[in-house]
Amino acid sequence: MKSHATTKGLERATHRALYYSMGMLPEDLDKPLVGIVNTQNETMPGHIHLDDIAKAVREGVLASGGTPIEFSTIAVCDGIAQGNYGMHYPLASRELIADSIEVMMNAHSYDAMVLITNCDKITPGMLMAAVRLNIPTIMVSGGPMANGYVNGEVCCYNDLMAAQGDVAKGDMTLEELGEMEREALPGCGACNMLGTANSMNFLAEALGMVLPGSTTPAATGRRKALAKQTGIKIMELYKKDIKPKDIITKDAIENAITVDLAIGGSTNTVLHLTALAHEADIEFDINTFADMAKKVPHLVKMKPAAGGYPPADVHQAGGITAVMKQLCDNGLLHEECLTVTAAKVKENVAGAVVINEDIIRPMDNPYSETGGLQLLYGSLAPEGSVCKVAAVKKEMLKHRGPARIFDQEEPAVEAIYGGKIKPGDVVVVRYEGPTGGPGMREMLTPTAAIVGMGLDEEVALVTDGRFSGGTSGAAIGHVSPEAADGGPIALIEDGDIISIDIPAGEITLEVSEEELQRRKANWKKPEPNVPKGSYLDRYAKQVMSAMSGAVFKR
């Protein structure tokens, strides 16, 4: 056992004494030591209840002959950081999470690991740590939040965002908005929409790193039971020496992309799956998303997509396991991939059934024949950009209009709510990329403002930043090269015409190459507006482009 490096031998008397001082017995140190990474905190509903999940995991580990040892790592709430300076930090925290788990696990020589997650950057950061450490590991999430209700109607996170626009237009009072605020998010769990949190937790099932049942709601006994099963299963993985790199293979990542496309997941999944492949030393081409989108149908529409269902309803319809069963039956998944059940994908999904075909559509009646994500290339984004086509209205799949330029998010939001953006415009928010931000802030607030102001059928938004899974509308992000690297997005001027063709995967800046070169000659790279020596300053110096997954240079 790896832990014998700290628990066995004459020279380890002080090490054992440290364990005994915490109440352990000698026989506890004869068992495998299982690190339980619990990200419980009081910053967000997704993590407020994770002590209950950790307790259930501990019970499972103890029942199966292991010794659980719990420690924590950071977890940032994207929702609270949203739309302000704090949003520089969530993506940057992904690398800190992976690093801190590596530090704790290697410093203490634990034998196996259980990762307890729920929200946006925590899940991918933990998956990156899993493949880096490559010891027996299993993940369990805290589960999605229940539906909110206002006046008998389902009301979720993105409905609340859109309501801010209703107040700005005078169609809703502040008192009515306040009532929505108190009802839309009814309790613990990952926010009740297909944001990055639920997207990544569902894709963890597709990857094979969590037990089937990723859509099981947070505030249920079934979620606790799933956590207990997770604690039991880690001991089986340890005994069989099944490790993350046995599970997270190129085929497994393609399975995750397939499920991502079928459910119309967050655009952030492109960042995180690319980063995971990089961390696992898997040869990966980001164009895999675009290539697979041509053959994977869009089967599930979840909020924030117009007419979409909340995650709790998808669970009642059969959940991600049932979606995977349909994809397996139609030859779209690598069904022989190993998973943390110690069985293959085809065995995990064998008994799954779609209960409601209005929510999980059959293969012969999809929302569209192609997947819910699209990569766009062109003179504005030579290295690529990303759009969540599943959340774009038909009227905006093709759009051409004048650019309205903003060098940060805040003035763009002020202009949208101030009525300065007109039908036909293309709002451009730049210097928000991984380096320029730094940290690649989410543009949920401006996209929600566009929706709230009733402009989502007439106005597009283009950015070198990124989007929350809660974003809807014609929103094109991850534009690369970013503005801070002198990409074409840095050279756009107010009134320049931008042409967007989402089905064709094209985004064009209608300015001649000669004119762009003239502008480039006069362009100067700005310094990131962060304190010297701060984590963000160091992050900006190390991070690579969005098309690389925004990973650190090696």
Burial bucket for residue 307 (CB in 10 Å: 0-12, 13-18, 19+): exposed
Rounded to whole angstroms, how far apart are CA atoms 121 and 73?
12
In the numeric block, the tokens 């009515």 are attached to 176
CA distance 449 to 113: 42
Number of H helices, E strands in the chain: 21, 14
Burial class (CB in 10 A: 0-12, 13-18, 19+), 346: middle
What the block records as the tokens of 540 is 């900006």
Helices 122-133 & 196-207 angle (0-180, nearest 10) = 30
Classify residue 394 by its DSSP letter.
Answer: G
The closest of 253, 213, 266 to 333, measured between CA atoms, is 253
Q: Label each residue of 46-91 as H, E or C.
A: CCCCHHHHHHHHHHHHHHCCCEEEEECCCCCCHHHHCCCHHHHCHH
Find the catalytic residue in 93, 468, 480, 548.
468
Maximum separation of any 2 CA atoms in the chain, in Å: 77
Residue 65's region, left for phi above 0, alpha for psi from -120 to 50, else beta, is: left
Sheet of 384-387, strand order: 374-376, 384-387, 475-480, 460-463, 426-429, 398-406, 497-501, 506-509
- 263 contacts 371 by C-beta, under 8 angstroms: no
Q: How many residues does the chain have?
A: 554
- Quick check: is 266 catalytic? no
DSSP notation for 145-197: PPPEEETTEEE-HHHHHHHHHHHHHTSS-HHHHHHHHHHSS-SSSB-SSS-HH
Q: Are 391 and 471 in contact (CB under 8 A)?
A: yes
User: Measuring CA to CA, which residue among 202, 104, 188 is closest to residue 148?
Assistant: 188
Judged by DSSP in three states, 470 sits in: coil
Structure tokens at 185: 């998010």
In 393-552, DSSP assigns E strands to 398-406, 426-429, 460-463, 475-480, 497-501, 506-509
| Positions marked catalytic | 468
